[in-house]
Structure 1
Amino acid sequence: MDIQLRDLRYFEVVAELGHVGQAADKIGRTQPALTKAIQRLEEAFGAVLFERQGRGIRLTPVGEVLLARARVLRGATEEALREVGDFAKGNAGHVRIGSGPIAADHVLPEICSLLLAEASETTIDITVAPSIALRERLREGAIDLLIGLMPQHDDDFVAHSIVEDVVVVATSPDHPVFKLPKITMESLLEWRWVLPVNSIVSRQWLDAAFRSRGLPTPTAQIDANSIPLLPRLIARTHLLSFLSRHTLNASGAANALREVPLKETTLRRHLGVTYRKEGYLSPAAQRLVALLRTRGKRLYTSALA
């Protein structure tokens, strides 16, 4: 079976856009060239990769499998080129960082400054997104390091803990909840909430905590995909939210918000740095991992002091 990497790249773009013409325009090739590339792949695998959908096309089940593998293969190819290039040039290399919102706010600027102070020629790409989304990008080889929530029991990754992250219910200091003789999960349902969107891990955990006790989930009046935005949304209201203590104790939020103490709604987890076990790490990425392991906890602490 003879498969060209170029054909796989064309296939990826067509799959992402669902349209051969748009894919041709994006990569600067003709439609017949892309059509022939798809045909070569279909002949190689003995299966149809796309099917018609309205005015466009969509992947068949076989095409879905190939797309996932093509992304991993492209990541491995790019890694091989980077590794050989770093070795040939003898330079510090390049590092692609994926960061969760908390790390991006409190650690990333300082840790990048430390890295550049040691290796001024290092180049850095930064992507800020929820950790669960970044984990898939890491698996595909699209990023080198993930600074954020640590994965649990995944043999594809190596993870080093930096600091514990505790997520708690919080609200404005004058909220009526603090006047209750006893705070319970049932009592928290009397008020509306500002919460991360459903795709965020902390929101999923909170909803599951209520469901596991036979209770309805909190009523979200505001859904937000920006974690740093949550404190400002509740500071002058009687809405509740679910925040990391790192965010709650940050400068500017400590006096405006107050934790609602309740063991059943307290999530404990760890923030760390994660990379692929079999992936290539440039000298810059290796040094960044070392800096995070030795200075990461202090950086979190000092940033929130």
Structure 2
Amino acid sequence: MDLRDLKYFEVIATEGNLGRAAERLHRTQPALTKCIDRLEEAIGTRLFAKDGRGMRLTAAGHILLRRTRQLTIMVDESAREIQDYAAGLQGEVRLGCVPTVAQYLMPAVFEQLLAEAPEVSVKLAVATNDSLLASLRDAEIDLVIGPMIDTGPDFECEQIAEDTVVVMAREDHPIFGSPCTLADLLEYKWMLPAATVATRQWLDQTFERNGLARPHVQIESNVLTLTLQILEKTPLLGFVTRYNLVGGRANVREVAVPETHMKRRLGLTYRRNGYLSPVATRVADILRERGKDLLSV
């Protein structure tokens, strides 16, 4: 199979229409039809079936599309690796961080990195862990720094630090008027991340394991950097890391309910067979060397 045919096939499969694919690739429709014919002859089965005015992938087509995308990533990374190692400690690194890590760890990491390699450029994505792992799987970022979860065989994970996620509320919240139990927490409404986020899942399961309902979520948001500001202005409860109390934030306090203390491992995650540039490797080394110290409460 010709690599160019595979690249054309990926566009055709994505568009689901020969005309749109031809416009995007600046090729004629007959040329793309011949491309499909060559691939189907090489594989020995059909890749597309008619679907109204468009076309849809067969089961074999879906397999080839997945493999083509993997091959495209491998080819692109091979070119990056050769260029990066020829250039030395320079170029671009694409990092993904959860908000806690971005706020409390990355400034010191960037201080050291830029002192060692002042010509590097960084693309930093700050998002929830599930979103970052999806970007990592698609090779849109090189390295994720955040909570360690069971990511399956596609990823490697290394622990660099640990934190504790706890319930918090504004300082004058009525919940602080008397000792609080797990059941008492359900008397109030909450601000929590989406149900796909690991901390939210852990909290929901904690209530369920104790025979209780899940928290009533009034505000659901993945913009976690807003959580403390909203807790300060509302009677909502939140579930955030203790690192948010670093620096003596006066307007929020931890709600002392031991059952809701979630120990969380923070680490590096990268694709098992993916390419890490010299810059990405250096960032990983800095995090391995200094992670625990930089994230000490």
Scaled to the shorter chain, the TM-score interval is: 0.7 to 0.9
Say which of 214, 221, 228 aligns to 2:218. Answer: 221
Say which of 166, 169, 182 aligns to 1:168. Answer: 166
1:5 matched to 2:3: yes
Give the Å deviation of 1:240: 1.0
1:266 matched to 2:264: no
| Runs of at least 5 residues in structure 1 that lack an aligned partner in the other structure | none
After superposition, where does 1:269-288 map in structure 2 within 5 Å?
269-288=264-283
| Runs of at least 5 residues in structure 2 that lack an aligned partner in the other structure | none
Q: Distance in 2 between matches of 1:56 and 1:222?
A: 41
8 Å CA contact 2:89, 2:279 repeated in 1: no
Give the Å deviation of 1:80: 1.3
Aligned CA-pair RMSD: 2.9
1:210 matched to 2:210: no
Q: Give the paired residue count.
A: 297
Q: Distance in 1 between matches of 2:172 and 2:5?
A: 62
Q: Secondary structure at the match of 1:198?
A: coil
8 Å CA contact 1:92, 1:282 repeated in 2: no
After superposition, where does 1:174-253 map in structure 2 within 5 Å?
174-181=172-179, 183-246=180-243, 248-251=244-247
Q: Secondary structure at the match of 1:97?
A: strand
Moved more, 209-218 or 48-57: 48-57
Seen in structure 2, the aligned counterparts of structure 1 residues 229 and 159 have a Cα distance that, compared at 3 Å, is: same
1:173-214 CA distances to partner (integer Å, 9 max, x unpaired)? 122222234x22222111111110122111121112222233
TM-score, with structure 2 as normaliser: 0.85
8 Å CA contact 1:76, 1:141 repeated in 2: no
Q: Secondary structure at the match of 2:162?
A: strand
Give the Å deviation of 1:218: 1.0
Q: Secondary structure at the match of 2:240?
A: strand
Question: Kindly, what percent of the aligned residue pairs are identical?
Answer: 45
Q: Secondary structure at the match of 1:235?
A: helix
Q: Distance in 1 between matches of 2:18 and 2:99?
A: 36
Q: Distance in 2 between matches of 1:191 and 1:30?
A: 62
Which residue number corresponds to residue 300 of structure 1?
295
Q: Distance in 1 between matches of 2:112 and 2:184?
A: 47
1:75-125 CA distances to partner (integer Å, 9 max, x unpaired)? 222221122223444553432222222222222343233212212232333
Q: Distance in 2 between matches of 1:165 and 1:36?
A: 57
Which residue number corresponds to residue 257 of structure 1?
252
Displaced runs of 4 or more, over 6 A: none
Q: Secondary structure at the match of 1:255?
A: coil
Give the Å deviation of 1:154: 4.4
Seen in structure 2, the aligned counterparts of structure 1 residues 170 and 76 have a Cα distance that, compared at 3 Å, is: same
After superposition, where does 1:95-114 map in structure 2 within 5 Å?
95-114=93-112
Moved more, 262-271 or 38-47: 38-47
Which residue number corresponds to residue 143 of structure 1?
141
Q: Distance in 1 between matches of 2:143 and 2:202?
A: 25
8 Å CA contact 2:48, 2:58 repeated in 1: yes
Q: Distance in 2 between matches of 1:274 and 1:57?
A: 37
Give the Å deviation of 1:223: 0.9
Q: Secondary structure at the match of 2:176?
A: helix
